[in-house]
């Protein structure tokens, strides 16, 4: 081992990223400049909706709105109060499994769930909130107060808001989500909320129809306000979900999950648009929610846009169509499209505006760290798990990867930078000095593999397992998501580089929904994945940063018996994250995140690969797009831009509406209906 150790190349700080200036800076404001709750003298709505009221098909607008609606201040809107009409034509690469988000159905992503869903707090627009006032925005929770001892938080719900079918929204919806979704181990909502998300031991109690109370085991865990946001506290309609839940019906959990398939139209939502049409592999169409509970400060009921389209295509096509003007919106996040998109956007007649932001997209290579039988591995897979739990094996993998070259395989130029893992560079809690980077060195990789007991004993170029592990070639699988060309390119690069280091890797390419399900079931050796919001903000989905509970970490969950087998460094990470979640001291939080970064990157709790910026592409006919909107920060750009405030000035409106003058019909019945 002495001679081998001599070949080991020691870790360093990560390389400095190449300079790449974000194009627009947000205009920072306090939260109450964006929105508030108050009664206005009068309210307005589109003329065609008035026709429904006149025909007796809809109560008057002031009866549909809460006594004190959420008011979006026109003073904060870049172009002021909007006009009604037009459509936002989204293109998405995901496919809807159904409308039961609460039971884990994906709606196809790309903003489709964000547009139908409202959460207790709102985090997307925080990119433009000044640092001194940075905290989640009130939303379905219009306010909250801490008890004197900080052990409870009383939450006041908006009063008199209604689901899109007119059913009242109240504490019953919130409590159903808590009691029968979050607390039910058989149910996992999309985005994975579970008891650990809210801090171990946290309880929620109904106080009255519009008040609920959280009780905590620690003092003033302000983290809870983020957990109350997207995508962990966005309650579904209790009046629809309860009758389908296994506790209250003959349904199995699988039947519950699939009780509201994509062709179940007009599923009640609190969001601004309601699904009224679904054509498989073609389109989902949404119409405005006549009960939407937000208005602008001139009294106009929101949203301004009457319709939303989600073309069911590919993510790459989203970029192409947005840049060409046949689509309206894209998060330009796949580097293969960067150069061409920039070129087109620079032309004078370009239909879409394009703005790059900070480096908030990362790709990582993640080991399955559970040796406890999670996902029921066969003998081969169990052997890989045991290797994954060996730090030398992980270090060998990290040093076998030339991350510079991997980034350049995606796009040349100043975009990509080698990523060490942990928090992404260009983010608040990132600290370069606390980050441990294992540089590329095949020789060092081999030395680490030898330390892990792997040697090419049969001379076929592939390392063999130690005798006591069977002695065969190391064969591992790498799972990647085929919905994105980027994921595939990164995965193929990793396979080739590991092959050079003597590890035989076979790709397991899965479509997005299957990828997510297979990952959450623990049926993988290693996977490639784009980083989530927790590695950008630290304060969103924080519990996922480590195995803080039996099912918070996608790298390590409990087995069927509920047992964990955490490595010492995972225990340490989990404790750091728990301390962070229960701390309310800015300085302490910063220090804890530095420590997190060191422990996570030193121990390769995921091998970082590459990080790069993304650009927001929006068709130029839309007004009110906030300057400097990042495609991803506290949430995706679909929430960050506040779509309910976007509008198209009359002279720029186009005829894209597929169902003009209509509103959603009754839940489960025919799609859009007319007033006549
Ligand atoms: C953005 C986003 C909005 C999910 C999804 C998708 C899923 C993941 C992630 C992104 C898509 C777009 O991301 O790529 O630009 O529009 O939808 O929800 O990757 O497979 O599970 O976390 O948000």
Question: How does pLDDT run across 41-74, given as a tens digit for each residue?
Answer: 999 999 999 999 999 999 999 999 999 999 999 9
Please give the distance, rounded to the nearest whole angstrom, from the Cα atom of residue 10 to the centre of ligand 1.
36
Dist. CA 43–CA 20, nearest whole Å: 46
**8 A C-beta contact, residue 552 and residue 193:** no
How is the beta sheet containing 417-418 ordered, strand by strand? 417-418, 607-612, 361-367, 526-530, 475-481, 504-510
Do 663 and 585 belong to one domain? no
Which domain does 189 fall in, by range? 34-318+616-673
Query: Could you tell me if 457 and 591 lie in one domain?
Result: yes
Ligand 1: centre distance to CA 110 (Å): 6
Q: Do 441 and 381 share a structural domain? A: yes
What is the predicted pLDDT for the residue at 584?
Answer: 87
Pairing of strands 307-312, 283-288: antiparallel
CA of 65 to the centre of ligand 1 (A): 31
Q: Which of 596, 612, 628 is the last residue of a domain?
A: 612
Question: Which strand (E) or helix (H) includes residue 52?
Answer: helix 47-54
Q: Residues in the chain, how many?
A: 676
- What is the structure's pLDDT at 256? 98
- Are 397 and 433 contained in the same domain? yes
Give the C-alpha separation, 499 to 180, whole Å. 47
What's the gap in Å between 112 CA and the centre of ligand 1?
10
CA of 109 to the centre of ligand 1 (A): 5
Q: Which helix (H) or strand (E) holds 354?
A: strand 352-356
| Substitution candidate for ligand 1 out of 636, 640, 641 with most atoms within 8 A of CB | 636
Q: Which residues pair with 294 in a beta bridge?
A: 70
What is the strand order of the sheet 87-92 is part of? 87-92, 307-312, 283-288, 273-279
Alpha-carbon span 381 to 376, nearest angstrom:
9
Distance CA 480, CA 364 (A): 11
Taking a C-beta distance cutoff of 8 angstroms, is the pair 511, 500 a contact? no
**CATH at 74:** 3.40.190.10
pTM: 0.96
Q: Dmax over Cα atoms in the chain, in whole Å?
A: 87
Q: Is 14 in the same domain as 155?
A: no
Residue 324 included in any domain:
no
Atom 21 of ligand 1, nearest CA residue: 516
Residue 29 lies in a domain: no
Atom of ligand 1 nearest to the CA of 114: 18
Closest CA to ligand 1's atom 3: 110
Strand 475-481 to 504-510 pairing: parallel
Residues 226 and 247 in one domain: yes
Tell me the CA distances in angstroms from 399 to 14, 253, 279, 425, 494, one per residue in order: 13, 44, 47, 20, 11
Indicate if ligand 1 lies below 6 Å from the C-beta of 109.
Answer: yes
Number of domains forming the structure of the chain: 2
If you take atom 20 of ligand 1, which residue's CA is the nearest one? 512
Which residue has the least CA distance to atom 15 on ligand 1?
331
Of all protein residues, whose CA lies closest to atom 10 belonging to ligand 1?
A: 110
Name the domain boundary from 612, 629, 654: 612
Residues 552, 626 share a domain? no
Name the residue at shortest CA distance from atom 11 of ligand 1.
Answer: 110
Pair (607, 643) in one structural domain: no
Q: Which residues, given as ranges, of the chain have pLDDT below 70?
A: 1-6
Distance CA 191, CA 106 (A): 9
456 touches 464 (CB < 8 A): yes
Residue 331 CB–ligand 1 contact under 6 Å = yes
CA of 392 to the centre of ligand 1 (A): 33
Whether 323 is covered by a domain: the verdict is no
Task: Give me ligand 1 centre to Cα 590, in Å.
Answer: 28
Does 198 contact ligand 1 (Cβ within 6 A)? no
Asked whether residue 330 is domain-assigned, the answer is: no
Q: Are residues 199 and 173 in the same domain?
A: yes
Atom of ligand 1 nearest to the CA of 315: 14
570, 643: one domain: no
Whether the CB of 639 sits within 6 Å of ligand 1: no
Residue 170 Cα distances to 238, 278, 660, angstroms = 9, 29, 31
Residue 280 within a domain = yes
638 lines ligand 1 (CB under 6 A): yes
State in Å: Cα 650 to ligand 1 middle.
Answer: 32
Residues 6+ apart with CB under 8 A from 347: none
With respect to residue 347, please indicate whether it lies within any of the assigned structural domains. no
Does the C-beta of 513 come closer than 6 Å to ligand 1? no
For residue 195, list its beta bridge partners.
none
Distance 534 CA to ligand 1 centre (A): 14
185: buried, middle or exposed (CB in 10 Å: 19+, 13-18, 0-12)? exposed
Pair (412, 508) in one structural domain:
yes
Site to substitute for ligand 1 among 92, 96, 106, 110, most atoms within 8 A of C-beta: 110
Q: How many CB atoms lie within 10 A of CB 201?
A: 10
How many angstroms is it from 92 CA to the middle of ligand 1?
9
For atom 12 of ligand 1, which residue has the closest CA? 110
| Contact by Cβ (8 Å): 607, 401 | yes
**Same domain assignment for residues 243 and 369:** no
- Which atom of ligand 1 is least distant from the CA of 631? 15
Q: Are the beta carbons of 440 and 399 closer than 8 angstroms?
A: yes
- Is residue 512 in contact with ligand 1, taking CB distance under 6 Å? yes
Is residue 460, in this structure, part of any structural domain at all? yes
Question: So what's the pLDDT on residue 24?
Answer: 83
How far is the centre of ligand 1, averaged over its atoms, from the C-alpha of 111 (Å)? 8
As a 3-state breakdown, the chain gives helix, strand, coil percent values, each rounded to 5, of 30, 20, 50
Cβ(319) to ligand 1 under 6 A?
no
Displacement of CA 389 from its chain's centroid (Å): 28
Find out whether the beta carbon of 487 lies less than 6 Å from any atom of ligand 1: no
Say yes or no: CB of residue 111 within 6 Å of ligand 1: yes
Q: Nearest residue CA, atom 17 of ligand 1? A: 110
Residue 281: C-alpha distances to residues 82, 93, 312, 313, 672 (Å): 33, 10, 5, 7, 20
Q: Does residue 336 fall inside a structural domain?
A: no
User: Does residue 521 sit in helix, strand or coil?
Assistant: coil
Sheet order of strands, 152-157 included: 141-146, 152-157, 211-215, 203-208
Cα pseudo-dihedral 225, 226, 229, 230, rounded to 10 = -170
626 pocket-lining for ligand 1 (C-beta < 6 Å): no
Shortest-distance Cα residue to atom 1 of ligand 1: 110
* Closest CA to ligand 1's atom 16: 110
What's the pLDDT score for residue 323?
Answer: 98
Give the closest residue (by CA) to ligand 1 atom 14. Answer: 110
Q: Is 333 in the pocket of ligand 1 (CB under 6 A)?
A: yes
Take atom 2 of ligand 1 and give the residue whose Cα is closest.
110
Question: E strands within 600-662?
Answer: 607-612, 615-619
Residue 607 to residue 394: CA distance in whole angstroms? 8
Query: Alpha carbon 603 to chain centroid distance?
Result: 25
Answer yes or no: is the C-beta of 636 below 6 A from any ligand 1 atom: yes
Beta strands 352-356 and 663-664, pairing class: unpaired
Q: How far apart are CA 8 and CA 572, in angstroms?
A: 26
Residue 530's H or E segment, with its range, is strand 526-530
Which are the contacts of 576, defined by CB distance < 8 A and separation ≥ 6? 546, 592, 595, 596, 599
- CB 355 near ligand 1, within 6 Å: no
> What is the Cα–Cα distance from 309 to 79, expressed in whole angstroms?
23
Cβ proximity of 135 and 222 under 8 Å: yes
- Strands (E) located in 357-496: 361-367, 417-418, 475-481
Q: Which of 584, 612, 640 is the last residue of a domain?
A: 612
For the domain that residue 450 is a member of, what is the CATH number?
3.10.105.10
């Amino acid at each position: 081992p002495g001679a081998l150790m001599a070949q080991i190349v020691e870790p360093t700080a990560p390389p400095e990223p190449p300079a790449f200036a974000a194009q627009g800076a947000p205009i920072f404001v306090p939260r109450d400049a964006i929105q508030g709750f108050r009664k206005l003298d009068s309210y307005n709505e589109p003329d065609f909706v008035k026709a429904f009221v006149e025909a007796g098909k809809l109560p008057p607008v002031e009866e549909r709105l809460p006594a004190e609606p959420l008011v979006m201040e026109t003073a904060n809107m870049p172009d002021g109060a909007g006009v009604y009409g037009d459509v936002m034509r989204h293109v998405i690469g995901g496919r809807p499994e159904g409308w039961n988000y609460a039971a884990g159905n994906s709606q196809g992503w790309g903003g489709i769930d964000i547009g139908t869903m409202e959460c207790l707090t709102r985090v997307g627009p925080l990119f433009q909130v000044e640092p001194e006032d940075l905290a989640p925005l009130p939303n379905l929770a219009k306010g909250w107060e801490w008890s004197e001892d900080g052990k409870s938080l009383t939450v006041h719900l908006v009063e008199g808001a209604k689901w899109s079918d007119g059913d009242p929204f109240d504490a019953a919806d919130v409590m159903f989500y808590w009691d029968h979704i979050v607390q039910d181990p058989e149910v996992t909502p999309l985005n994975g909320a579970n008891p650990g998300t809210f801090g171990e031991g946290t309880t929620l109690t109904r106080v009255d129809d519009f008040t609920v109370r959280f009780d905590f085991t620690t003092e003033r865990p302000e983290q809870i306000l983020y957990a109350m946001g997207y995508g962990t506290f966005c309650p579904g309609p209790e009046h629809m979900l309860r009758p389908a839940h296994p506790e209250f019906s003959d349904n199995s959990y699988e039947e519950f999950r699939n009780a509201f398939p994509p062709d179940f139209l007009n599923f009640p939502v609190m969001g601004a648009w309601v699904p009224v049409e679904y054509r498989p592999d073609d389109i989902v169409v949404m119409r405005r929610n006549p009960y939407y509970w937000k208005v602008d400060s001139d009294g106009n009921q929101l949203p301004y846009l009457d319709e939303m389209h989600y073309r069911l295509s590919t993510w790459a096509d989203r970029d192409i169509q947005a840049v060409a003007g046949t689509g309206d919106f894209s998060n330009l996040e796949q580097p293969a499209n960067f150069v061409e998109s920039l070129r087109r956007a620079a032309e004078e007649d370009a239909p879409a505006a394009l703005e790059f932001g900070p480096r908030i997209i990362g790709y990582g290579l993640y080991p399955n760290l559970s040796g406890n039988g999670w996902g029921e591995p066969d003998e081969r897979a169990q052997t890989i798990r045991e290797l994954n739990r060996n730090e030398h094996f992980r270090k060998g993998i990290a040093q076998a990867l030339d991350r510079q070259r991997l980034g350049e395989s995606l796009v040349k130029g100043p975009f990509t930078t080698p990523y060490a893992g942990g928090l992404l560079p260009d983010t608040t809690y990132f600290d370069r000095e606390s980050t441990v980077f294992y540089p590329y060195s095949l020789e060092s990789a081999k030395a680490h593999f030898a330390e892990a007991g792997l040697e090419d004993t049969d001379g076929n170029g592939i390392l063999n397992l130690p005798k006591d592990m069977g002695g065969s070639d190391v064969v591992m699988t790498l799972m990647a998501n085929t919905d994105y060309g980027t994921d595939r390119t990164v995965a193929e690069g990793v396979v080739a580089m590991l092959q050079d280091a003597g590890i035989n890797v076979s790709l397991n390419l899965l479509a997005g929904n299957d990828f997510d399900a297979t990952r959450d079931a623990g049926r993988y050796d290693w996977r490639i994945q784009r980083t989530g919001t927790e590695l950008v903000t630290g304060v969103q989905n924080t519990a996922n940063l480590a195995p803080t509970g039996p099912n918070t970490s996608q790298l390590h969950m409990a087995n069927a018996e509920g047992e964990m087998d955490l490595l010492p460094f995972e225990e340490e990470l989990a404790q750091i994250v728990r301390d962070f979640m229960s701390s309310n001291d800015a300085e302490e939080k910063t220090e804890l995140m530095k420590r997190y970064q060191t422990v996570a990157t030193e121990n390769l709790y995921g091998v970082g690969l590459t990080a790069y910026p993304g650009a927001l592409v929006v068709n130029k006919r839309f007004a009110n797009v906030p300057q400097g909107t990042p495609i991803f920060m506290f949430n995706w750009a679909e929430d960050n831009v506040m779509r309910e405030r976007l509008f198209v000035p009359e002279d720029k409106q186009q005829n894209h509406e597929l169902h003009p003058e209509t509103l959603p019909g009754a839940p489960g019945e025919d799609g859009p209906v007319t007033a006549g």
